[in-house]
Structure 1
């Protein structure tokens, strides 16, 4: 198996000079960190006692920690499409997770948050997992980013997959790209966290603040399986492999903040930290944790509710815990408001919620949120975040099976749920169906689902 350690010095020396743009006075730098399959409880500040996350805990203590942030669909590609475009993934034609056989991706005519910011003079850089199409027209440098280093889809889409069917379906290696150029093909991921962290730090180090603000999007491939840690990067936590992987991601947050401070950029940088969906529970001790029902690939809270921390000195109140009802589709219109940029001339599903993201206010949303799984609109969250209506659907669950160990997943079972209404404030575990007690709420949320479903059909 080929490691990427020999590439680190070369890759970190290949930074490009800052673009020549007019200085954008007072506009903040923006660092958006998005992990993969990280559970709601995989941070100490969110109650995680199975991990050690001092840098994320400090970020939450000095910024705002959100309790009610959701993704639009609990899987890789769809979740990222919503984050990048401000649209439900179904609106932009992306559902589920693209693999190496996909011929399409995020259409070039869609407008990404990077394109919105770049038009306002931002230098834009991406590091990590893209997963919105692996052919050149769909890659980050053709979607508003000045530079890119990372892999184009999930790193479990390779021949070393633990399941036999996947070993022949996927290629032997995963491509590592700089911009649109193939740098290497990877089959060993032990240094992936380290590579991403150090590349992100290098981007910041080479950024010239006089040339305009920086937008850095760091999308970690992990803790998505296969888990891999670098013994030469950090000392083991003593809490197991999953905790060690989380520790590497946490260390990167510290390294980024240290570099921002050294560059004199920290006081004017907004950091946003979140995850693409909840934990992939079928992987047992190689998966994260959530206090909610179910996990990745479902529309229950365990799949769609994820951690969110925002931090901007002098703008986000330190130590605040916000119950603002927010979704990834709100990121683009909110950042557009932050930099006084016009919204894309397209239909967006998200809304401008800047004050909510900064912890100044806490909603409600202008309208309910729809939650899809693939083409199926399965649930609706009320605008105030109090109620959630599940429409009848089938879903994957572990049931009463013993948890998986050692990286080999157990097989999901299929179950179903009928029309069900839950009070998320009192019952975040979605256990007590209140549909019979609140027919008016069921009626209103059902009506929204019909309208939205017809619009996105």
Structure 2
């Protein structure tokens, strides 16, 4: 009789033995690496076919070969604070009351009531560390008040100091550890090295438990610096020297994961916070084939290079063209960690099926909305992108050289102190142009050159209707609209 039931007994025992090992499988470590103002085509694996380079981002290229390259990845706004507030909360920047870029005079930042990616991880028992540029508030709104056990870096951009390209008499630039200023006007050529070393130390210290490492590099935001080891190494000037140093540092972080036996169970995410600061010319990146760059709603400003690697989970060597958003990180990682999402509304979607290439998986977004400050500039849906009439910045004249912006010689001191879009243009060598209602088919016209609005009235109508829903939710100052879904920013105590 026993022989009749032996196969069933063996199968049940196998299930009993296997179940605890599956349940005991540790949650993945998360390593989030963010470059500052890197162009879409700066990593060589994102460049145009046949394009000649004096350098190669060998480590990012290797990361792409071991993971998936996402070529249709958007940030919510093409500027630092807004972008970061979005991918750390899963919300449009306007929803959490943050637009543009904070500076040394700012008294606001990310509200403590918002739940960050670090806080989600910490609730799951993760160690959390942030090394680089925070840019979401100073003092009581700093990184250690938003879920990070450790912070080492800058509270805002590295041009908010004596090396600002156009403004004189800026205050000293603070380097902060935890909440304490440990140095002022530090040697910026050591930033990439220092942040890399801190990241490596964090990995080694926490190798026995799950961790979330956030590495928001300062470079290649102007002013740019490379250490002596990398100066002149690229053969293409200081900017590409900076890229090589960043790439090498990323390689060291990845090598540490492998050395510590953590590579297989670590999700590595890389992207840029927004596009390149094109007015700075030789000190700025490459957004080809896309139009414009940082501070604009064009593709060069909001579409950034993105690579994800998780061995055995995310396919290696794959290229994914699905429309995804940096806001999707929060709900996706919450799903991985089996953590509840915040009770308030967020805008990101769980994209784990797309990341892992599940059969039939596709982008969960019908549309993404692109704001500039509180102005709704564009909506993207599938291959279509509709720009509403809006002002935009474009490089004033010949791109700048040697760390100065375009048209530097003609800038007047009083123009640099202007506020709003005119002030940004004055300080950074741009001019303000106006775009009419414009529809582009990005699959045929990635450079947003040919306006096909008249030929596609039904597409214009559909995207305009989607935009109306967003205006009711988050507002649109171009139309004098305020939204009902906007939450207040935090205030520095």
TM-score (normalised: structure 2): 0.84
Please tell me whether Structure 1 or Structure 2 has the larger radius of gyration of its CA atoms. Answer: 2
Q: In structure 1, what is the Cα distance between the partners aligned to 2:253 and 2:372?
A: 34
Q: Give CA deviations for 1:93-119 in whole Å, capped at 9, x if unaligned.
A: 100000000011101000001111111
Q: Helix, strand or coil for the counterpart of 2:188?
A: coil
* 1:262 aligned to which of 249, 259, 263: 259
**1:2-401 matched pairs, under 5 angstroms:** 25-47=25-47, 49-135=53-139, 137-163=140-166, 166-168=167-169, 170-171=170-171, 173-209=172-208, 212-232=209-229, 236-291=233-288, 292-360=290-358, 363-382=362-381, 385-398=382-395, 401=397
By how many angstroms is 1:237 displaced? 1.8
Q: Helix, strand or coil for the counterpart of 1:216?
A: strand
Mapped contact 2:207–2:260 kept (Cα < 8 A): no
Q: Which residue in the other structure is 1:408 paired with?
A: 404
Q: Helix, strand or coil for the counterpart of 1:306?
A: coil
Q: Which residue in the other structure is 2:16 paired with?
A: none
Mapped contact 1:391–1:420 kept (Cα < 8 A): yes
Q: Helix, strand or coil for the counterpart of 1:183?
A: strand
Mapped contact 1:72–1:88 kept (Cα < 8 A): yes
Mapped contact 1:31–1:270 kept (Cα < 8 A): yes
By how many angstroms is 1:181 displaced? 1.2
Q: In structure 2, what is the Cα distance between the partners aligned to 1:327 and 1:272?
A: 13
Mapped contact 1:24–1:213 kept (Cα < 8 A): no
Q: Helix, strand or coil for the counterpart of 1:245?
A: helix
Q: In structure 1, what is the Cα distance between the partners aligned to 2:241 and 2:389?
A: 39
Unpaired runs of at least 5, structure 2:
1-22, 407-428, 475-482, 484-493
CA RMSD, Structure 1 to Structure 2 (Å): 1.5
Q: Which residue in the other structure is 1:439 paired with?
A: 457
Q: Give CA deviations for 1:154-195 in whole Å, capped at 9, x if unaligned.
A: 0001122231xx212x21x21111111111112531101110
Q: In structure 2, what is the Cα distance between the partners aligned to 1:60 and 1:182?
A: 37
Q: In structure 2, what is the Cα distance between the partners aligned to 1:162 and 1:126?
A: 27
Q: In structure 1, what is the Cα distance between the partners aligned to 2:107 and 2:24?
A: 38
Q: Give CA deviations for 1:129-164 in whole Å, capped at 9, x if unaligned.
A: 0000012x211111011111111100001122231x
Q: Give CA deviations for 1:7-63 in whole Å, capped at 9, x if unaligned.
A: xxxxxxxxxxxxxxxx97421111000010000000010117254210000000111
Mapped contact 2:131–2:216 kept (Cα < 8 A): yes
TM-score (normalised: structure 1): 0.90
Q: In structure 2, what is the Cα distance between the partners aligned to 1:358 and 1:37?
A: 28
Q: In structure 2, what is the Cα distance between the partners aligned to 1:42 and 1:238?
A: 15
By how many angstroms is 1:438 displaced? 1.7
Mapped contact 2:279–2:430 kept (Cα < 8 A): yes
By how many angstroms is 1:342 displaced? 0.7
Residues 359 and 277 (structure 1), Cα distance of their counterparts in 2 relative to 1, 3 Å cut? farther
By how many angstroms is 1:369 displaced? 0.6
By how many angstroms is 1:80 displaced? 0.3
Q: In structure 2, what is the Cα distance between the partners aligned to 1:181 and 1:438?
A: 56
Q: What is the number of equivalent residue pairs in this alignment?
A: 425
Q: In structure 2, what is the Cα distance between the partners aligned to 1:82 and 1:42?
A: 23
